[in-house]
Amino acid sequence: MQQLFVSGIGTEVGKTVVSAILVEALQADYWKPVQAGDLYHSDTDKIKAWTNKAGKFHPETYRLNTPASPHYAAKLDNIDIQLTDFHLPKTNNHLIVEGAGGLYVPLNNKDLIIDLIAHLGIPVVLVSRNYLGSINHTLLSIEALTRRNIPIAGLVFNGVPTPSTEQYILSYFDIPLIAHVDEIEEITSQKIQAQSLKFHSFFKKID
Active site residue 110: no
Q: What's the total number of domains in the chain?
A: 1
- CA-nearest of 108, 112, 100, 130 to 8 is 100
Give the domain range for residue 83. 3-206
pLDDT at 148: 96
Q: What CA dihedral angle connects 63, 1, 127 and 115, to 10 degrees?
A: 60
How many Cα atoms sit within 13 Å of 114 on the Cβ side?
Answer: 22
pLDDT at 202: 86
The pLDDT tens digits along the chain (207 residues) read 899 999 999 988 999 999 999 999 999 999 999 999 989 999 999 999 999 877 899 999 999 999 999 999 999 999 999 999 999 999 999 999 999 999 999 999 999 999 999 999 999 999 999 999 999 999 999 999 999 999 999 999 999 989 999 999 999 998 999 999 999 889 999 999 999 999 988 887 655
pLDDT at 207: 57
CATH code for position 66? 3.40.50.300
The pTM of the full predicted model, rounded to 2 decimals, is 0.95
Q: Out of 15, 32, 191, 198, which one is annotated catalytic?
A: 32
pLDDT at 201: 82
